[in-house]
Amino acid sequence: MRLSYDPIYDSGLAGVLLTAVVIALLFVVTPTGVSRGRRITLLTLRGLAAIALVLTMLRPSLVRSDNRPAAATLAIAMDTSRSMTLASGDDAAASTNLGSGDAENRWQQQQRVLEQLAESLAGLDDQLNIALFRYDRRSDQIASGPASELRESLAAVSNLEPDGLLTDLSVPLESAVAASRGTPLAGIMLLSDGTQTVVPASPSESGMRAELGNPSNGSRSIDPVSSARLVAAIGVPLWTVALGPRAETSLVQDVSVQSLPETYRMFTGNEAEISFEVQSQGYPGTPIGLSVEWVDEKGATRNAATRTMRSDQSSSTEAFRIPVVAPEPGRYRLIVRARPPAGEANSSNDFQLAFVDVRPGGGRVLYLEGTPRLEQSYLRRALRRFPDLELTYRWIPRDTSKRWPVSLADDLQTGRYDVIILGDLHSAALGTEQLEQIAKSVASGTALVTLGGERAYGPGGYADSPLAKALPVKMNGSIVQPAGGEIKKSMQGQLEGPLTLKTTVPHPITNIMVGAREWNWSTLPPMPGANAIAGVKASPGVQVLLEDERSDPMLVVGEYGQGRVASLAFDSTWIWWRGGASEFHRRFWRQLMLWLLSREESDDSELQLEMTRRRFNTTLSSLLTGSIVLAGNATDLPGAWSADVVLESGEIRPLGLSTNTRAVGDQREATINAEIFGDGATPTDNNNEQSPDVAAEASAPSAGAFFPPGIHRVRVRLGDAADPVASAELPFQVVDDTTELAAIAADHAMLDRMAAITATSGGESFRPDQIDSLIERISTQRRRAERVVIEKWRLGDGPSSGWVVFLLFAGCLCSEWTLRRRWGLA
């Protein structure tokens, strides 16, 4: 502390001179003719007045400098989800603090930590404010005040219960940042067991809600790590306090099947890959059996695949990708089941199911190619756009001709593939035996496509091969080219372009509709060349579908045994794509494949039902939508819509629908939608946040209903229930909400990761027995935020000191004047 002066007019010299003048005037001009005592009294009064006046002119100040932390807010977030009712794993704390043999749960552990914090923070500094939040899937600020009042705040919220059905670790961070706008954050303290049970909405569900005018909360990522990065970006430390048992010390034994997709759409006979994860805990070195099972609509079960999982670690997660072959058309449940050893406490998560819609007419295509040309690239691109076609590509390079024929024994087994495509591949690459095998497969029902090329047909040696009998065209055997190396005889068996294609007869392959019009082949880019077909076989079913201007056959189809065959003289359909007719290119290959598979693309108007979720827990909901195209453009529907849900128990409950009809050309499209809730959800308490108005509308009886856990079926009918115009069913599963209670072992790694993201700002992860270290870290952080605070007290700045000086000056002068009057000196 130091003394300073602020003289009037900001001039020390003027202040000294004025002081001297005042003293001179008060003491030089002295009264005469009075006694010595009276003179001293008058001079004393004048002296005091002079002192008051001098103080007013010099304005003395007391200045004190101090280092103090800036005023800031510490946000503390407490977990109120159901996982807090699980055991804390801290047996020593339980016996010490509970005074009984009862195990301490995580809620009690959290309360104990908060009380310890309240006691330690109370004397930290008087510039620290505490904002107390509670969170589960949402976050609310429940108290705010000085750190010294935290204990009173905890008493005020003692009636809280850990009843949150889901946990989102990102919401307390975002709430703390949002609430601190305008006020510096000293840090965020997150008390949690690390379980993140809220998952983001799928893109399809978000889009569906947007279509229905029910937007999801797309502004939030529902990602704790991203929220921690936001906290780090603004320079705020995150201190996490990990509750519950450490994962490495937990003695829990549990196996769970996770991440199996809700739905699959397959085609009969096609191979599909089933992906899922299996998490095991407490079974190091123990084999765990896994099975994949099909369950049909009648409840019959058959095994699709089995695997065994074995891990050397106490806790592990292993990903599986298992191929399965789709069964006969129908609706199935695909169940992935783990079979752990006896002794597992929670077996409800040992399996997970997916709903599978198997459609008829799937096709498996084997494409054999010898030259990696543009045609193979665009042909593969076109075929892979169709989910019902499973394409396998085999490239047999020419520079391997010394090792020909290659072995394709597995691929060429009869029935393995539905369609075989032979590209620009010499017959020597396959050999006589395998070509004979292909011919037998075609006779048994496999379809065959042969493409043009420099080593196709006659130049490729197919005229004298066993495959010649299966083809609908004749070939010239005298123009065979060598199996490997370059072509010796230029353009042998080739037609020079440009070649304009034209149709000869109407056919499902060549009658191609793009939009609302049929495509004219003559408008396509001409072919740069093609193979010269020696002739067309005069066999039943053989037809020339395309030819050029000179009537050379370009596309010939026929049958061999039970299989269909198509021979294309050209090999450059890729120029259609590049010429702006990509949709035509796609449809041509699509219609060719359908004809080879003896299928016609179904365009029947059926009621199509979809759900944004086919498997969801009781706290969530799923949007049901349906559509059907009807003839005519009238607005009246043929009867009314009706819908119900058949529960797993057999009970039937009605389901309200919202309907709409709109004209589509000379037809009309009728659509329906409804929302199906789990019985633990509310319209505003699901994974997709909604506005109150939208939520209230969605909860109306005409827009949805609530259903218990189980595997149920939703039925929708248009028209009379006994004889509907259209009807459809869709099964779905409501899963019992055990998500929070299933997290027996706390996820401390998640909390460690979140805190580490803010390490540059002072963030760190702590355990409940490290609260003293946490307080020391907060104290250190506060010292780093200290700034120099200067306190200045100047005479006259406040009313108290100003009035004292004024009363002293006025009082002394008034008293002096009064005495002089009384003594006859005035």
Query: Do residues 504 and 555 both lie within one domain?
Result: yes
Strand ranges across the sheet with 724-735: 615-617, 724-735, 710-719, 641-646, 652-654
d(CA 430, CA 426): 8
Q: Are residues 413 and 544 in the same domain?
A: yes
Quick check: is 480 in a domain?
yes
Query: 300 and 259 share a domain?
Result: yes
Is residue 533 situated within a structural domain?
A: yes
What is the structure's pLDDT at 516?
A: 58
Do 424 and 508 fall within a single domain?
yes
Q: What is the CATH number of the domain that holds 179?
A: 3.40.50.410
The string of pLDDT tens digits covering residues 682-696 is 654 444 433 333 333
Output b/e per residue, 32-58; b: 16+ Cβ within 10 A: eebeeeeeebbbebbebbbbbbbbbbb
Q: What is the pLDDT of residue 293?
A: 95
Same domain, 89 and 223: yes
pLDDT at residue 211, rounded to an integer: 46
Measured N-to-C along each axis, helices 748-757 and 224-233 cross at an angle, to the nearest 10 degrees, of 30
Spatial contact of 616 and 731, defined as CB atoms under 8 Å apart = no
Low-confidence stretches of the chain (pLDDT < 50) are 94, 98-100, 202-219, 249-250, 601-604, 634, 684-703
- 227 with 349, same domain: the answer is no
Q: In whole angstroms, give the CA distance from residue 684 to residue 663.
A: 34
Task: Provide the β-strand partners of residue 291.
Answer: 306, 337
Q: What DSSP line would sit under 680-713, residue for residue?
A: T-BTTBSSS---HHHHHHHTSTTTEEEE-SEEEE
Predicted local distance difference test score (pLDDT) of residue 661:
84
Distance of alpha carbon 558 from alpha carbon 567, whole angstroms: 9
Backbone torsions φ then ψ of 359, nearest 5 degrees: -105, 155
- The residue from 713, 740, 767 where one domain ends is 740
587-622: buried (b, 16+ CB within 10 Å) or exposed (e) per residue? Answer: bbbbbbbbbbbeeeeeeeeebebbbbbbbbbbbbbb
As to burial, measured by CB atoms within 10 angstroms (0-12 exposed, 13-18 middle, 19+ buried), residue 399 is: exposed
- Angle at CA 198, nearest 5°, toward 194 and 199? 120
Beta strand pairing status for 535-536 and 527-531?
unpaired
When divided into structural domains, the chain yields a total of 5
Angstrom distance (rounded) from CA 528 to CA 572: 7
pLDDT at 700: 36
**What is the pLDDT at residue 171?**
93
- The pLDDT assigned to 683 comes to 57
Does any domain span residue 602? no
> What's the pLDDT at 219?
46
Q: What are the φ/ψ torsions at residue 698 (nearest 5 degrees)?
A: -70, -25
What does the alpha-carbon distance between residue 493 and residue 477 come to, in Å, rounded to a whole number? 10
Same domain, yes or no: 285 and 341: yes
Give yes or no: residues 394 and 380 share one domain.
Answer: yes
Domain membership of residue 771 (yes or no) is: yes
> Residue 188 has which token pair?
């965020």
Token duo for residue 821: 């009057």
Residues 347, 423, single domain; the answer is no
Is the CB of residue 452 less than 8 Å from the CB of residue 556? no
Domain assignment of residue 558, yes or no: yes
Q: Mark which of 340, 359, 378 sits at the end of a domain.
A: 359
CATH number at residue 332: 2.60.40.2550
Predicted pLDDT of residue 686: 42
pTM for this model (two decimals): 0.48
Q: Are residues 426 and 548 in the same domain?
A: yes
Q: Tokens for 324? A: 């399965």
419 in the same domain as 336: no
DSSP codes joined into one string, 101-137:
SSPPBHHHHHHHHHHHHHHHHTTT-TTEEEEEEEESS
Spatial CA neighbour of 825 closest among 41, 27, 32: 32
Q: CA-to-CA distance for 216 and 689, rounded, in angstroms?
A: 6
Question: What pLDDT does residue 343 have?
Answer: 60
Residue 462 structural domain: 366-596
Sign of CA dihedral 685, 690, 696, 702: negative
Cα(782)–Cα(124) distance, rounded to whole angstroms? 9
Task: Please check whether residues 517 and 618 belong to one and the same domain.
Answer: no
| Cα atoms in the 13 Å half-sphere on the side-chain side of 17 | 6
Tokens describing residue 657: 């629908």
